[in-house]
Structure 1
Amino acid sequence: MTGEFIKLPEASKAEKPREKIDSVLSFSPRTKQYKVIRILTRQICDPISGRKEYEDKVAEIHTLGTRSWRRVESATFMLYGIKFPTYLNGAVNWFRPKFQKADSIISFDVFNEQFQLMPAPPYKYNSHDGEDKDLISMGVLNGHLFICDASEFGHIRIWVMKKYGVPKSWTKVFSIDTENEQRWPQGLYHPLRKFKNGAVLMYHARNCLLYYDPTRKEHKYFKVRGSESNFEVAVCIPSFSSIKDAVMGDNVEVLNVKSRCAKFELREEVKPLFLMEEISELASDFYSSSEESC
């Protein structure tokens, strides 16, 4: 909202050839530091056959206000692509399907910079074969870590961890039967908010919102009209805080997308204004050409 941004330090020459980078922003309440965690994955291939032999995974961390990345020591099984990155209680969590015959959650303590493994809820693991594993989402619902399981056809189950870090505190708060209901799209669901009346608002991967009231067993289906491309819905709290207050140290320059001199603004900096003018011109030309063709 403020238009401020900073540039992260570039990777070293040894890191540039890596083929995949997963990253997530985190925060340590104890030190008031923001940190970026990234997992770099490089495929190691046989030089003769060209076949992939294994994947080399490295976890690194960057503290905003410094000029470098640091290697994070961790066990190999912790290094996994960041899926559904979720920040809660000073830790970043992401979902790892089917680790050692069961789904699991990887948690990274931002202050101690250590990984740990937490078990997922006790749902049926045998239903997560094939593409079904892509129908499980994770996030924060009303201050609790949640897992939403839609892998079984006609059923949506939502679990919450009532005490963070305590596996036994996993509690199933929703069990929705959609098999005999109309207009319930199948696929991945992501709960956004649980209301005082017990209802829940969920985002569906097919670009729609769905409101479900378990007491009345009624649901309302909301489609965003005019949206042709895929989009994602997330809970956001706007803030006018400056990045200058978040970045510690004098090693980082805080930049701004807006011109430093208000009298000499670039065309890109007032793009919305020019965009509206261009739309008006295009519309005018279209209707004029249409009338002439008729």
Structure 2
Amino acid sequence: MLNIDVKPYDDKFGVVNSCNGLLCLCCPFEGNPLVICNPVTGQFMRLPKATKTPNQLRNLEPVGFGFGFQPKTNEYMVIQIWNKFVKRGYHHVFERMILDINTLGTPSWRNVEVDPQVFYSRLKYPTCLNGVIHWIRFEGQTQNRSILCFCLESERLQSFPSPPHVFRNHHTVSRNERISMGESRGLLYICDTSSFHDVTMWVMKEYGIGESWTKVYNIDTSISALGRPDRRRCGLCWPLKHFEDGASLLLYHSCKCLIYFEPEKYGFKVFRIHGTDSEQVQIIPHTPSLVSLKDVVKGDNIEVLNIYSMCANVKLREENEVLSLSQLMVT
């Protein structure tokens, strides 16, 4: 049993998603994107502020966000999607959906036309693959699930083939919250943990072909806090990485731990996470890279900063202040 210490209350950002080694950081509450950074190089850039007035923002409800790469133009883009409401009498009535795009290096957001009849409650688990951002979408009062995608080249929202049986008969919010999506080794996956006792992973082996969705594994996750099989306990796991030899790394919310599952040799190995009172620990798959933000931005007026040089400058200022104070004391 190994321990991992975390300091969740020191975190100042949430994470929208990762793309090519870059992270899109957001406000931890509203979720709106604020910063793009490369945690390896320490480079970061602030996204332009929305041009909407405070009165306009009060009538907007966040739906979903995403960060992606358009390979044909070699551009990175950030997507914001909102529902706009208007006040009629004592009620706020849905008017239309707003989709804004910022291409890294441009100083402002631009609007993309969306069908005025389209309405989504929420879009979760943004995943960029093949120049397309995918989400799991929530529809209507029953919160039914399906996959929605936005092509960065055509700038169109459209439906995307879903794996069979995964979204079927999932009509309650509590069950649907346990279906997630991501990318593993260049393939789109859907993970279903709605049964509490196991985790099922589906992979789309041929991109865009609904019939190519294939069940990769079904793991029994009803384990105790010590990692021993326990049929009495309900598990709630999210996959983080699937290895070629069949092993998997999962986040186990119920016990606040990471699980390494290797069926042939080790079974379960459990890594406890200490230092957080919340079961909603956010962990995302991320492949580090040396991509320079100075190479991906298109504009000339965008400032790319570096957290390491900023820390060095702060340290130098502190040393100078200490030196000045010492000289003053001697005088």
Structure 1 length normalisation: TM-score? Answer: 0.77
Pair 1:33–1:78, CA change in 2 (3 A)? farther
Question: Following the alignment from structure 1 to structure 2, what is the Cα–Cα distance between the partners of residues 167 and 220?
Answer: 34
Percent identity of the aligned residues? Answer: 34
Pair 1:12–1:179, CA change in 2 (3 A)? closer
Q: Structure 1 residue 266: deviation in Å?
A: 5.6
Residue 237 of structure 2 corresponds to residue 189 of structure 1:
yes
Q: Secondary structure at the match of 1:219?
A: strand
Query: 2:242 is aligned with what amino acid?
Result: K
What's the C-alpha RMSD, in Å, of the aligned pairs? 3.1
Residue 289 (structure 2) aligns with: 239
Residue 304 (structure 2) aligns with: 254
The equivalent position to 1:221 in structure 2, one of 270, 287, 300, is: 270
Contact 1:156 1:175 in 2 (8 A): yes
Pair 1:266–1:93, CA change in 2 (3 A)? farther
Contact 2:120 2:137 in 1 (8 A): no
Question: Following the alignment from structure 1 to structure 2, what is the Cα–Cα distance between the partners of residues 256 and 198?
Answer: 39
Indicate the structure whose relative CO is greater, using CA pairs within 8 Å and at least 6 residues apart.
Answer: 2
After TM superposition, the structure 1 = structure 2 runs for residues 1-294 of structure 1, keeping only pairs within 5 Å, are 1=39, 2-13=42-53, 15-21=56-62, 22-47=64-89, 50-54=90-94, 56-75=96-115, 76-77=117-118, 79=120, 81-97=122-138, 103-123=145-165, 125-178=168-221, 181-182=229-230, 186=234, 188-206=236-254, 207-215=256-264, 218-229=267-278, 230-257=280-307, 258-259=309-310, 262=313, 265=316
Query: 1:113 is aligned with what amino acid?
Result: E
Pair 1:7–1:146, CA change in 2 (3 A)? closer
Q: Structure 1 residue 215: deviation in Å?
A: 4.7
Question: Following the alignment from structure 1 to structure 2, what is the Cα–Cα distance between the partners of residues 128 and 153?
Answer: 16
Q: Structure 1 residue 40: deviation in Å?
A: 1.7
Structure 1: gaps (5+ residues): 268-294
Q: Secondary structure at the match of 1:164?
A: coil
Pair 1:79–1:215, CA change in 2 (3 A)? same
The structure with the larger Rg is: 1
Q: Structure 1 residue 12: deviation in Å?
A: 2.8
Pair 1:265–1:152, CA change in 2 (3 A)? same
Q: How many residues align?
A: 265
Pair 1:97–1:7, CA change in 2 (3 A)? closer
Pair 1:142–1:249, CA change in 2 (3 A)? same
Contact 1:91 1:107 in 2 (8 A): yes
Contact 1:137 1:188 in 2 (8 A): no
Q: Structure 1 residue 104: deviation in Å?
A: 1.3
Q: Deviations 1:185-208 (Å, cap 9, x if unpaired)?
A: 645432122223211111233432
The structure in which a higher percent of residues are strand is: 2
Question: Following the alignment from structure 1 to structure 2, what is the Cα–Cα distance between the partners of residues 163 and 15?
Answer: 42
Q: Deviations 1:195-247 (Å, cap 9, x if unpaired)?
A: 23211111233432122234579322221233445532222233343321110
Q: Structure 1 residue 73: deviation in Å?
A: 2.3
Contact 2:79 2:100 in 1 (8 A): yes
Pair 1:264–1:94, CA change in 2 (3 A)? same
Question: Following the alignment from structure 2 to structure 1, what is the Cα–Cα distance between the partners of residues 311 and 80?
Answer: 32
Q: Structure 1 residue 97: deviation in Å?
A: 4.1
